[in-house]
Amino acid sequence: MLVRELTFFQLEILKELKFKPKYGLELINNLNVSSGRLYPNLKRLENLGLIKGVKKDNRIYYSLSEKGIQEFENIMYWVTDYVLSIGVNLFDEYLSFIVESLRLKEGDRVLIGLKEIKHPFLIRAAREITGRISKRVTLSGSVFVLQKIDLPYVTHIEDLDLLPDKAVDKSCILAMEMNKKNMKNYERVTKSEISIIGKAHSNIFIEKCFYNTLKKMGAEAPFILGEGLKKEDVFKKLKELGYEKIRYTSKEEVFVATVILQ
């Protein structure tokens, strides 16, 4: 695999040529670069046997070679896994902040609400948060999750109605719209606290670092934890729903707003 020999710009060129041959000026416009940057990189990719140039109508059209097609697929799989792995590691401090803000103690019964998620980064982040919560409450507590996550000491439930009333001490809502119906449903099964975990601003840390890279690779960019609510929006919405006792903590791009029920 040639991935260690290529720059991200060279990967962008390969991606541009994946579906259709293009000539130099097209690539310059699409990639928003100068000819002085483009052509040396095209030459490099030609030398590696990943692209080929064919002259037509006084223009040279570049396309992926057979080797380029095969290598491009291999490289994209590797880069996607690599970037997602880096993302989880960099996100570690935010995960720790979230768990600390929930003020969990041994023996707590915790309900974790998740929208259905399919993006591999979101799944890994959700698993990590759930695992850390489980470790905090230990074997004497319990963790219920509204989306199937295969983790030890975690119980998957299909619906809140499967829980008896006041079955849990705390609820944590991740990546979920905060509306009156949802809040009342969580309140019905929760004894003391409901925490909403969301974005403090429009661009969360992981989005800011990896959105462009993932977008250029054709991957779905991760939008994690909430609906982009700012601090004042959180308080306003909670008060509209009739909640006055609120604990709020934030770390740069992430907030945890906790409604105190007792």
Would you give the end-to-end CA distance of the chain in angstroms? 59
Q: What's the pTM?
A: 0.62
Given a cut of 80, whether residue 173 has pLDDT beyond it is yes
Condensed to tens digits (0 to 9), the pLDDT of residues 123-132 reads: 777 788 889 9
Phi, psi of 243 (to 5 degrees): -105, 130
> Which pLDDT score, from 0 to 100, does residue 223 have?
44
108 CB neighbour count, 10 Å cutoff: 22
> Which pLDDT score, from 0 to 100, does residue 57 have?
87
Domains of the chain: 3-82 (1.10.10.10), 91-260 (3.40.50.150)
Given a cut of 90, whether residue 169 has pLDDT beyond it is yes
Confidence of residue 107 (pLDDT cuts 50, 70, 90): very high
Given a cut of 50, whether residue 221 has pLDDT beyond it is no
Please count the residues of the chain: 262
34-43, 167-176, 185-194: which range is least confident on average? 167-176
Averaged pLDDT score across all residues of the chain: 80
What distance in Å separates the CA atoms of residue 88 and residue 125, rounded to the nearest whole number?
Answer: 7
Given a cut of 50, whether residue 220 has pLDDT beyond it is no
55-69, 169-183, 191-205, 221-235: which range is least confident on average? 221-235
Question: Which has more pLDDT, 253 or 162?
Answer: 162
What distance in Å separates the CA atoms of residue 183 and residue 189, rounded to the nearest whole number?
Answer: 10
Distances (CA, A) of 26 to 10, 20, 32, 35, 68: 15, 11, 10, 11, 19
What share of the chain in percent tops pLDDT 70?
76
> Which pLDDT score, from 0 to 100, does residue 42 have?
95
Tell me if 151 sits within 8 A of 127, measured CB to CB: yes
> Which pLDDT score, from 0 to 100, does residue 111 have?
95
What distance in Å separates the CA atoms of residue 202 and residue 29, rounded to the nearest whole number?
Answer: 29
Over range 147-151, report the average pLDDT. 80
Confidence of residue 210 (pLDDT cuts 50, 70, 90): low
In this structure, what DSSP letter does residue 169 have? E
Condensed to tens digits (0 to 9), the pLDDT of residues 40-83 reads: 999 999 999 999 999 988 999 999 999 988 887 777 666 666 65
Condensed to tens digits (0 to 9), the pLDDT of residues 84-94 reads: 565 556 567 77
> Which pLDDT score, from 0 to 100, does residue 53 have?
94
What distance in Å separates the CA atoms of residue 124 and residue 132, rounded to the nearest whole number?
Answer: 12
What distance in Å separates the CA atoms of residue 74 and residue 50, rounded to the nearest whole number?
Answer: 12
Tell me if 24 sits within 8 A of 39, measured CB to CB: yes
Q: Residue for token digits 């996100």?
A: 91
Given a cut of 80, whether residue 204 has pLDDT beyond it is no
